[in-house]
Structure 1
């Protein structure tokens, strides 16, 4: 070591719930040499999320600064965190709310990266209600434009994502595609497969269609159910297993009931043994 302190990075996220981006961030945290980079998180959601303890076990600090309608508490709390944590870089993952970390970081002279992970940013809370949905969409447009203008670097997980936030390629010079990758998990065993099927009452020879994902609009569970209904017409013994949780779970459960698919669909919630389920 040369005696220099590690670069301190603060990731601004909604929460550390189970999801693709959150898993990727944890794998980065796990692989990052701590003598060179220190990663912490600040969550704006109602809670810090189910993976927060894993992040702490890997050496990260997990802060909770809830974002409320006035925004004042979040802006002040984020500024205080950056000062107290002596962060060298802010990495902004807030998408529709991405202007907030960018504004704070720029005012403090701290470099900031704005990252986007989706081509649309559907509301997941009460902001998705009628009228509010349109207001939030307008807010997101202004927020993203502000973040693009003020950030030092813009990343997207694909060219399509970058095109959705910057259709005129005004900020192409400072935009990069950042492809996310995580280590492949170990394969599940035959014994684990049999135990999982037995727990759900699924016969060994039955076709199982597995979907792993958060119950959110972009995951298109509604479309999946329509496709599965066609599968059932050809394979009556097929079973659809839905792994995950989210704001639309209750709505999907109602759709399953309305379509008469209850006997063929299993909701198993959040699981930590997905590789075994996929065996």
Structure 2
């Protein structure tokens, strides 16, 4: 099969949410010798990182997610011109802004001409499925939709009524060569004054009200009462940090809770330092990448039974699942694993095996390519029937 020409668009300026998985996917497609071009906001952190990674970029797009009419019209014209002069087989969007841009650019093109690509949209999260614009966009604005977890798949099919043949679930992926069980967390423990045997729980998530940090603090207060040596590492940055620090003080946790700030370069080592990883809500990328990375490092994961988390964690095998907002159950789950380190270690090893089997980047890229080629074959068959 000939290599495909693929254009990915993602209107994310910062190295958060959808940006990292999209760049990882484009790199994987390039490694499979596909012809890939990436469109990202001009002058953004994501653009800089894509250049450093050697990913070909579509120049001249602002892709500003804050709508400005003149900027929008310029982007529509630039993308339409690019599509008219460059053969693109697949136009793959990831967020509502770039999806609308793609629709606006493609709309006046003659559908019988080869310049009209297959349009694919990855739905990373579906937070407002009843919004009319979102509803129309997903129901009518793409050849095919990709859900990053089964919860989103069911929302698309059951809530929005999209035909199941138009939706494919392709799970997120993790770089299991960067995140692996042989890593040592000793340096991280020394950095925060923790001994090698101190029971250490951690969460990696943006510090936002929706991510469950307050629930974790409430549960950890109970854990700390029962296990005074236990410590909690809160990894990430965000606008909710002052409220979390205040609540930490109110609970009398003092030095038992450590705010590390944002960690990127040494995140694998941070995860390696933990005994137990906790994640209570999916982020904006929908695949719960932090939980995948913790499992890749060989850590047991305690997660709320929501979104992709209930697809990722096998209860009692790779970690523990609890009901959302169940502080007592969360405290019990943390205490259980801290008091049974061998059981926790075995869960972590099984989690690593699950990552290698079901969440590798190779698996994700191969599933994506199979879908692309299937859609291309269907388009070719439809064109032959129409012209025959």
**SS of corresponding position for 1:15:** coil
2:41 is matched with: 43
**SS of corresponding position for 1:223:** helix
Question: What residue ranges of structure 1 are gaps of 5+ in the alignment?
Answer: 122-136
Are positions 1:32 and 2:36 aligned together? no
2:63 is matched with: 65
2:170 is matched with: 178
**SS of corresponding position for 2:145:** strand
Superposed displacement of residue 274, structure 1: 1.7
Superposed displacement of residue 113, structure 1: 1.6
1:56 is matched with: 51
* Alpha-carbon separation, structure 2, partners of 1:69 and 1:15: 14
**SS of corresponding position for 2:168:** strand
1:129 is matched with: none
Superposed displacement of residue 150, structure 1: 1.4
- Deviating 4+ runs (over 6 angstroms): none
2:93 is matched with: 92
* Alpha-carbon separation, structure 2, partners of 1:71 and 1:261: 50
Superposed displacement of residue 36, structure 1: 2.3
1:236 is matched with: 228
1:66-117 Cα deviation digits (max 9, x unpaired): 233455523532441453474723322215x565235324414443222112
**SS of corresponding position for 1:252:** helix
Superposed displacement of residue 7, structure 1: 0.8
* Alpha-carbon separation, structure 1, partners of 2:100 and 2:64: 13
1:159 is matched with: 150
Are positions 1:142 and 2:132 aligned together? yes
2:218 is matched with: 226
Question: What residue ranges of structure 2 are gaps of 5+ in the alignment?
Answer: 110-115, 273-388
1:193-239 Cα deviation digits (max 9, x unpaired): 22211211223321111111222344322222222122112112211
**SS of corresponding position for 1:17:** coil
Change (3 A) 1:258 1:112: farther
Are the equivalent residues in 1 in contact too, given 2:62–2:75 (CA < 8 A)? no
Superposed displacement of residue 56, structure 1: 1.1
* Alpha-carbon separation, structure 2, partners of 1:69 and 1:13: 11
* Alpha-carbon separation, structure 1, partners of 2:100 and 2:13: 16
1:201 is matched with: 193
Of 67-76 and 212-221, more deviation after overlay is shown by 67-76
Are the equivalent residues in 1 in contact too, given 2:11–2:41 (CA < 8 A)? yes
Superposed displacement of residue 147, structure 1: 1.4
Aligned length: 254
2:103 is matched with: 103
Are the equivalent residues in 1 in contact too, given 2:233–2:259 (CA < 8 A)? yes
**SS of corresponding position for 1:203:** coil
2:121 is matched with: 114
Are the equivalent residues in 2 in contact too, given 1:43–1:64 (CA < 8 A)? yes
1:141-168 Cα deviation digits (max 9, x unpaired): 1222121111111111122112334415
Q: TM-score, normalised by structure 1?
A: 0.76
Change (3 A) 1:249 1:196: same
Change (3 A) 1:24 1:241: same
Q: TM-score, normalised by structure 2?
A: 0.57
Of 225-234 and 164-173, more deviation after overlay is shown by 164-173
Change (3 A) 1:189 1:177: closer
* Alpha-carbon separation, structure 2, partners of 1:71 and 1:165: 30
Are the equivalent residues in 2 in contact too, given 1:14–1:43 (CA < 8 A)? yes
In angstroms, what is the RMSD of aligned CA positions? 3.2
1:276 is matched with: 269
